[in-house]
Amino acid sequence: NAGVMQNPRHLVRRRGQEARLRCSPMKGHSHVYWYRQLPEEGLKFMVYLQKENIIDESGMPKERFSAEFPKEGPSILRIQQVVRGDSAAYFCASSPRWENTEAFFGQGTRLTVV
Amino acid sequence: EDQVTQSPEALRLQEGESSSLNCSYTVSGLRGLFWYRQDPGKGPEFLFTLYSAGEEKEKERLKATLTKKESFLHITAPKPEDSATYLCAVQAAAAGNMLTFGGGTRLMVKP
């Protein structure tokens, strides 16, 4: 049973470009969460999605950031017009049910904006 | 606002020297308290979920306990491979499924 798969593991973008981060949840999991870990800071919640629905995006910056979890395919976190402050590790977690008693994390995507 | 504070920020132990990591929290209605282990460059690895005061869970050399204000992660006779950052997170009843994380404790176990 494969774990949560994130790709790419490392992503380098120039300022102003777009970054697309992908997350495939564990088999049987239909709930996906995105977190961001800035250098020397803790993990911060960004968004919670179920298939085709955004449930909670209270941690998502209002501009340039968007997330989706289509009926088919992985969840995508999209960052438009990246800036240096977007450099961070982005982690995806998934759980099998709403209660989220065990959220399993992927290995993360490390975004570097140059 | 839900808050999680972990102490100490860093802890150096000799192999075999038992100790405890602290996680203090304030939350409006605790649904669950989570412990994770994170190795450098890796994602958090799930360890435990605790739901109510007085609950305890064990896994190998680790034991997690919970009170109404804090949780402890006890490490008995640690080994160098236990070196990692240990993260504590809370899930509030009113906050949906999001986890609020503490800053972590970086544990280093020397042989």
Buried-exposed string A93-106: b where 16+ CB fall within 10 A, e elsewhere:
bbbbeeebeebbbb
Contacts of B98 in chain A (CB under 8 A): 33, 45, 48, 56, 58-59
Mean pLDDT across B23-50: 93
Binned at pLDDT 50, 70 and 90, residue A101 comes out as: low
The sheet carrying A19-24 orders its strands as: A5-7, A19-24, A75-79, A65-68
Q: Does B96 touch chain A (CB under 8 A)?
A: yes
CA dist A46 and A12 (Å) reads 21
User: DSSP character for A8?
Assistant: -
**What's the mean pLDDT when you consider all of chain A?**
92
Radius of gyration over every alpha carbon of chain A, rounded to an integer in angstroms? 13
DSSP-derived 3-state class of residue B99: coil
What pLDDT is recorded for position A98? 64
Interface subset of A 72-91, CB within 8 angstroms of B: 91
Mean pLDDT across A75-104: 89
Cβ atoms of residues A111 and A87 within 8 Å: yes
Residue B80, pLDDT > 80, answer: yes
Residue B48, min C-alpha distance to chain A (Å): 8
Mean pLDDT across A41-65: 92
Residue A18, min C-alpha distance to chain B (Å): 23
Residue B93, pLDDT > 90, answer: no
Residue A90, pLDDT > 90, answer: yes
Interface subset of A 47-66, CB within 8 angstroms of B: 48, 55-56, 58-59
Residue B19: how many other CB atoms lie within 10 Å: 15
User: DSSP character for B65?
Assistant: E
Comparing alpha-carbon positions, the chain A residue that sits nearest to B40 is A107
